[in-house]
Chains A and B, each alone.
Chain A
Amino acid sequence: QKEVEQDPGPLSVPEGAIVSLNCTYSNSAFQYFMWYRQYSRKGPELLMYTYSSGNKEDGRFTAQVDKSSKYISLFIRDSQPSDSATYLCALYSGSARQLTFGSGTQLTVLP
C-alpha cells in the first residue's frame, strides 16, 4: 500500500463547476498537508498549506484535512479554464524530514 493515495483522474469539468480532489494517507506521522499545482512542462507550485484538521480557505480554494480519517481534500469553487493543471497532494513528516507526494490528479476545466 502506498503511503499516499490519490485518484489520478483525469477529471474534466465545465467552467464554473465545483471541483473536489482527494487524497488518503496511512502514516500518522504526517504533520503538514499541502496541495501543489503543476502546469504542463512546469515545476509544481505550492497552492495550499495547512497543519491542523479543519478547513483553510484562500480565494476560490479550500483545503480540508481530517486527521482522524487520514483524508485530505482540495475544493475549487467557480473553476476556470486557467485551473486546468495537475494537482498533487503532499504530506510532510517532521521526524523523517520528508515530503511525500500523491500521484497527482489531472484536471481540465472546459470553457
Chain B
Amino acid sequence: DTAVSQTPKYLVTQMGNDKSIKCEQNLGHDTMYWYKQDSKKFLKIMFSYNNKELIINETVPNRFSPKSPDKAHLNLHINSLELGDSAVYFCASSQVEAGGSAFFGQGTRLTVV
C-alpha cells in the first residue's frame, strides 16, 4: 500500500540510450511532480502536473518529456541520455488544498555510463 511508488529503483544505462521512469500515487492527490536531486542533495523541481495538465516546466533539456496518462500516474521519459543526467529522480504528489505538502517516492538512482 505504498503511497508514491516509482520504478525502477536503480537504472544503469549507456550514453545515448532512451529510458523511462514510472510513477504512481494512490493518495488521490491532484498534483504530481518530478524532482532531480544532484550529488550535493539539492532538490530541484523539473515538472509539475495538476489534474494531468502541465503547470511547471522548469528549464530542463527537451530530452526530458513527462507524460501523465491520468491523475495517478506521471512518467518521465529521457532521450539521448548524457553523463550529466546521472542523479536521483524523485516523483512526488500533493493536494493543492493541502498547501503544497508533498509525499515523495523512494527515488530512482540513474547512472549514465
Contact = CB atoms under 8 A, between A and B. Distances in A.
Interface of A: 8, 31-32, 34, 38, 41-46, 49, 51, 86, 88, 90, 92-94, 96-101, 103-104, 106
Which label, helix, strand, loop or mixed, suits the secondary structure of the B interface?
Answer: strand
B96 A51 contact: no
6 contacts: A43-B107, A90-B100, A90-B102, A97-B31, A99-B33, A103-B40
A94 B100 contact: yes
Given A46-B101, A103-B41, A98 B56 contact: yes
Q: Interface residues of A: mostly helix, strand, loop or mixed?
A: strand
Interface in B79-110: 90, 92, 94, 96, 99-107, 109
Interface of B: 4, 31, 33, 40-45, 48, 50, 55-56, 90, 92, 94, 96, 99-107, 109
Nearest to B91: A43
Nearest to B97: A94
Contacts of B96: 94, 97
Nearest to A36: B104
Contacts of A43: 4, 90, 92, 104-107
Given A43-B106, A51-B99, A98 B41 contact: no
